[in-house]
């Protein structure tokens, strides 16, 4: 089920009603175009995407089947990332030999940000654009502890894109993540050991069978959850030790663990 509500200063309101007429007598909190952009969600068509399968199965199952709300102000960095992608795509489309925002299809779908030839030859480099906070970047660079989970998820994503791109005839021999630091050039970034505003990081090429097994298993788990109307609890790593349930899950009220952590009544 797509996003249905905005958390508004006057209470929870349906997205469609908010866009039609702002309930706040003082006027809109953000521009109408911004709210329309935030309120648009991709409808699940039965085929999971790569990014969906990187998320916990229960989270994705509940977001597909339950109405949920977001605070528009919490989506600021998502809008920033979208704008970032659009500008780089526009430039890439003007350059010969580069393939930008390529839609990939198979048992699992995906969109790769950039495929570029290496030194004009017949081998290619696949690049994915990210916008992360400096703490997340520090974990990827192993400057902070417990970055293994983050690096694995990034590698799984790019390797799945690699497999699908190779099916289209691209001989991918390099994977890179180009990461823009959201809070770059600030005290917090420097305190996290981050001294650049943008990084181009190499990503490990994983064994094909390992990547395929992961996405097959996750796709099967999601389809099973949709058929049986139940799913297993997200594991400890997926819950980020509980932090995800507390402040980063839009469907916590439908989950016994989420409701418990947020001290809320569980909804059916």
pLDDT of 131 > 90? The answer is yes
Q: What is the pLDDT of residue 239?
A: 93
pLDDT of 77 > 70? The answer is yes
Q: What is the pLDDT of residue 105?
A: 84
CA distance 154 to 157: 5
pLDDT of 1 > 80? The answer is no
CA distance 58 to 233: 6
CA distance 202 to 155: 10
Q: What is the pLDDT of residue 120?
A: 81
pLDDT of 204 > 90? The answer is yes
- What are the domain boundaries of the chain? 1-41, 76-208, 233-268
DSSP class of 265:
P
Cβ-based neighbours of 162, under 8 Å, separated by 6 or more: 126, 172, 175, 205
pLDDT of 163 > 90? The answer is yes
Cβ-based neighbours of 68, under 8 Å, separated by 6 or more: 1, 3, 4, 5, 62, 250, 251
Contacts 24+ apart (CB under 8 A), 14-22: 15/39
Higher pLDDT, 120 or 259: 259
pLDDT of 85 > 80? The answer is no
Q: What is the pLDDT of residue 84?
A: 74
Q: How far is CA 156 from CA 78, 152, 159, 215, in A?
A: 21, 6, 5, 9
Query: What are 47-56's pLDDT values in tens digits?
Result: 999 999 999 9
Angle of helix 32-39 relative to helix 76-92, nearest 10 degrees?
90
Cβ-based neighbours of 16, under 8 Å, separated by 6 or more: none
3-state secondary structure of 110: strand
CA distance 113 to 96: 16
Q: How confident is the model at residue 64 (pLDDT cuts 50, 70, 90)?
A: very high
DSSP class of 192:
T
Query: What are 209-266's pLDDT values in tens digits?
Result: 999 999 999 999 999 999 999 999 999 999 998 899 998 999 999 999 999 999 988 9
Among 68-77, 82-91, 196-205, which stretch is predicted with the lowest mean pLDDT? 82-91
* Rg of the Cα atoms in the chain: 20
Angle of helix 208-228 relative to helix 57-65, nearest 10 degrees?
40
Q: What is the pLDDT of residue 193?
A: 97
Q: What is the pLDDT of residue 75?
A: 85
Instruction: Fold for 76-208, please state it.
Output: Trna Endonuclease; Chain: A, domain 1 (3.40.1350)
Q: What is the pLDDT of residue 88?
A: 79
Q: Give the other-Cβ count within 10 Å of 56's Cβ.
A: 22
First-last CA distance in the chain: 14
pLDDT of 15 > 80? The answer is yes
Cβ-based neighbours of 2, under 8 Å, separated by 6 or more: 41, 42, 43
Q: DSSP secondary structure string, 9-49? A: TTEEEEHHHHHHS---TT--SS-HHHHHHHH--PPP-SS-B
pLDDT of 86 > 90? The answer is no
CA distance 200 to 244: 27
């Amino acid at each position: 089920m797509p996003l249905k509500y905005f958390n508004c200063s006057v209470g929870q309101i349906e997205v469609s009603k908010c866009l039609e007429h702002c309930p706040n007598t003082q006027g809109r909190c953000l521009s109408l175009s911004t709210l329309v952009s935030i309120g648009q969600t991709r409808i699940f068509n039965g085929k999971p995407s790569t990014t969906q399968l990187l998320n916990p199965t229960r989270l994705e199952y509940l977001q597909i089947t339950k109405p949920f709300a977001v605070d528009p102000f919490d989506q600021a960095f998502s809008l920033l990332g979208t704008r970032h992608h659009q500008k780089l795509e526009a430039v890439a489309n003007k350059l010969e030999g580069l393939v930008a925002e390529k839609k990939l299809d198979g048992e699992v779908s995906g969109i790769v940000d950039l495929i570029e030839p290496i030194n004009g030859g017949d081998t290619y480099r696949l690049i994915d654009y990210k916008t992360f906070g400096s703490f997340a970047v520090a974990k990827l660079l192993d400057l902070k502890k417990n970055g293994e989970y983050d690096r694995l998820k990034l590698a799984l994503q790019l390797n799945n894109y690699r497999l699908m791109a190779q099916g289209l005839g691209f001989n991918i021999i390099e994977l890179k993540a180009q990461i823009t630091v959201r809070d770059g050039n600030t005290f917090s970034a420097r305190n996290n050991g981050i001294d650049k505003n943008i990084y181009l990081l190499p990503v490990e090429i994983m064994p094909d069978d390992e990547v395929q097994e992961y996405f097959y298993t996750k796709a099967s788990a999601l389809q099973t959850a949709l058929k049986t109307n139940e799913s297993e609890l997200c594991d400890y790593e997926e819950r980020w030790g509980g932090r995800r349930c507390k402040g980063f899950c839009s469907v916590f009220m439908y989950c016994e663990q989420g409701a418990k952590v947020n001290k809320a009544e569980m909804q059916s």
